[in-house]
Chains A and B, each alone.
Chain A
Amino acid sequence: GAGVSQTPSNKVTEKGKYVELRCDPISGHTALYWYRQSLGQGPEFLIYFQGTGAADDSGLPNDRFFAVRPEGSVSTLKIQRTERGDSAVYLCASSPGTNREAFFGQGTRLTVV
């Protein structure tokens, strides 16, 4: 596809469970970002990949959150022992380079019950 693809679009999970959220960026984009957006708020930065490496993970809220991008393309955001406070829309974006516009996916709405 031409745009950033995120799966699933919706995920409902029970408190304490493990979840994985997938992001397929635009082909050729070396930069990949994860953001989290709570209701009525602007997106908040979680982690940035340049190629395969996490160049900036300063936005991850705690060690229950982890993300990988093993081949420099698809990325997976992993959340362990989910809590109700993790409920939000998780957005992925990719960019062709530094300080260039970022293209966002539709997001994954995570609901922890």
Chain B
Amino acid sequence: AQKVTQAQTEISVVEKEDVTLDCVYETRDTTYYLFWYKQPPSGELVFLIRRNSFDEQNEISGRYSWNFQKSTSSFNFTITASQVVDSAVYFCAPTTGTASKLTFGTGTRLQVTL
């Protein structure tokens, strides 16, 4: 069985602060993919990043960066210099198996204020 834990229910930051969203994914599978999605108030889920279990190299894309550590089952996501438009619910979601179905965490609500 697999388990996705997003321990942070809600985070509030002031614009321009950096913020890290935590995700812990526990599984016995050796091959899997990890995704982060954003759900703004409009409701539509937006794909952010994708990572496979073989590659632990951390990456940066614009204001987004992510830190994947297989040994601790953590897949954390950082937004640098946050903006009000970043306010949304962020979901961590792994996929496994041939169906590639996403298993979503409970989400972290990020509120960025001026």
Point out residues on A near B: beta carbons under 8 Å.
Answer: 31, 33, 35, 41-45, 48, 55-56, 59, 89, 91, 93, 95, 98-107
Contacts and interface: CB of A to CB of B under 8 A. Distances in A.
Contact of A102 (B52, B102, B105): B102
A105 B101 contact: no
Contact of A106 (B35, B44, B107): B44
Contacts, number: 58
Given A42-B91, A48-B101, A102 B47 contact: yes
A89 B43 contact: yes
A95 B52 CA distance: 17
Nearest to A105: B44
B30 to A, nearest CB: 14
B25 interface: no
Interface in B80-114: 91, 93, 95, 98-107
A56 to B, nearest CB: 4
B107 A100 contact: no
B45 A104 contact: yes
A66 to B, nearest CB: 18
A43 B47 contact: no
B45 A91 contact: yes
B50 interface: yes
Contacts of A48: 99-101
Contacts of B64: none
B44 A55 contact: no
B101 A56 contact: yes
Contacts of B35: 101
Contact of B98 (A89, A95, A98, A102): A98
Contact of A95 (B100, B103, B106, B107): B100
Contacts of B37: 104
Given A99-B95, A101-B50, A104-B45, 10 more contacts: A33-B101, A41-B106, A43-B91, A43-B104, A45-B101, A55-B98, A89-B43, A93-B45, A106-B43, A107-B43
Interface string B1-33: 000000000000000000000000000000001
